Amino acid sequence: MPDRPDLAAMIVPLGRTLMAIELPILESHGLTMWAYGVLLGLEESPVRTQSALAQSIGADKTRIIPTLDDLQDRGFITRTPDPADRRARLLSLTPEGRKVRDTAQAAIHQREDELLSALSADDRRGFLRALQQLSDRENAAPPAPVPPRHSRG
Amino acid sequence: MPDRPDLAAMIVPLGRTLMAIELPILESHGLTMWAYGVLLGLEESPVRTQSALAQSIGADKTRIIPTLDDLQDRGFITRTPDPADRRARLLSLTPEGRKVRDTAQAAIHQREDELLSALSADDRRGFLRALQQLSDRENAAPPAPVPPRHSRG
DNA sequence: TATTGTTATACTCTATAACTATA
DNA sequence: TATAGTTATAGAGTATAACAATA
């Protein structure tokens, strides 16, 4: 018997739980998971192309288009053709977009903190530090394009 | 700007990476992700019903049937009608089943340890302790039946 | 009538391919 | 000809519904 369960066996269900926590909060702000992901993705570097944005948030470029349409319609993002290359679209957050994003994220973090409060201060610190390190390391590595859940034999 | 990224934003991609690490290892042992999950699920309490097993590993009862068929054909599990209630099937690992499971798991843990070796001893300890605590807490809570990735608005 | 296991069907999500427009 | 964006289609993966056997 191993000294610990597989990491994936612990982390994947935990990820699902965290998403289950996020979903109702996002819905209450009129956001889908992908819409929220887009708002987060635009925060870091204000303008980009849709493909780059899609890749940075682990999505297919075709997949986020309805989301972008919706966010634009609701005034949360702007999407203007790049004068220098009119094929590309310059994306950025509007103040309203930033506001929903921040409000939703604050609510999410609050719920997450409740979850983390079950841990000792030391463990919580180690957990968050480790998570951020592993996460950074990921973003440096090849951005694995959403592998299939499993393959049939 | 928040003091940390959303937990889900860090954990979900990490989970995907861990699954991507597992997949080729499992394939090399002729196991799918669900097959491995079944072998793991049978370890803890040797005999059960298929529904209970499915629920305990976060699967739908209809989803694991082809997997059970395959594992049985290959002699990794036994599936016999319960004499006390012939509707139910008693499931258990065979020695061969336990062997593939242990071999695969050892290989997986080895790769995971490489990943964890990027962390300081303190962070690694905190990370694993926190993970196990949160994981235990999960198994006590309602076993969220695989929520949809996101809902369309 | 309710439950276990099973099969068949429908639905959701995702990726691939094909099209338009710019370059 | 190549690339950004878009649309339409096809493919996985999943859950729901319907069925047979047993209780």
pLDDT in tens, A100-114: 999 999 999 999 999
Q: Computed from CA positions of residues B129, B131, B133, B136, in that sequence, does the dihedral angle turn out positive or negative?
A: negative
Partner-chain contact B129 A123, CB within 8 Å: yes
Instruction: Show which positions of strand D are touched by protein (CB under 7 A).
Output: 3-8, 12-17, 21-23
Q: Side chain identity at A148, as an amino acid letter?
A: P
pLDDT at B46: 64
The answer to whether B65 faces chain A, any CB pair under 8 Å, is: no
A7-140 fold: Arc Repressor Mutant, subunit A (1.10.10)
The rounded mean pLDDT for chain A is 89
Using an 8 Å Cβ cutoff, are B68 and B50 in contact?
yes
Tokens of B123: 């962070």
State the CATH class of domain B31-106. mainly alpha
- How do A85-93 and B77-82 pair as beta strands? unpaired
- Chain A residues lying within 8 Å of B146, measured CB to CB: 16
Q: Pick out the nucleotide with least CA–C1' distance to A83.
A: C22
Positions in chain B whose pLDDT score sits under 50: 143-153
pLDDT at B44: 67
Partner-chain contact B126 A130, CB within 8 Å: yes
Show which of residues 5-34 on chain A sit within 8 Å of chain B, judged by CB atoms: 5-23, 27, 30-34
Phi, psi of B96, deg, nearest 5: -65, -40
Pick the residue from chain A with its C-alpha nearest to B102: A1
- Give the residue extent of every domain in chain B: 31-106
- CA-to-C1' distance for B66 and C8, Å? 14
The 10s digit of each residue's pLDDT in A111-140 is 999 999 999 999 999 999 999 999 988 777
> Nearest to residue A75, comparing CAs of A32, A39, A23?
A39
Q: Computed from CA positions of residues A71, A73, A76, A79, in that sequence, does the dihedral angle turn out positive or negative?
A: positive
Higher pLDDT, B3 or A152: B3
pLDDT at B143: 43
Tokens of B55: 């629920």
- CA-to-C1' distance for B56 and C3, Å? 18
Nearest by CB to residue B126, choosing from A31, A109, A125, is A125
A146: left (phi over 0), alpha (psi -120 to 50) or beta: left
The per-type count for chain B, helices as H runs and strands as E runs, is 6, 2
Neighbour count for residue B51 (Cβ, 10 Å) = 14
- Chain B residues lying within 8 Å of A23, measured CB to CB: 147, 150-151
B27 touches strand D (CB under 7 A): no
Cα A2 from Cα A8, distance rounded (Å):
14
pLDDT at A143: 43
- CA-to-C1' distance for A60 and C16, Å? 11
| pTM, entire model | 0.89
Q: CA of A35: how far to CAs of A32, A54, B74, in Å?
A: 5, 11, 45
The 10s digit of each residue's pLDDT in B38-70 is 999 998 666 679 999 999 999 999 999 999 999
- Chain B residues lying within 8 Å of A122, measured CB to CB: 126
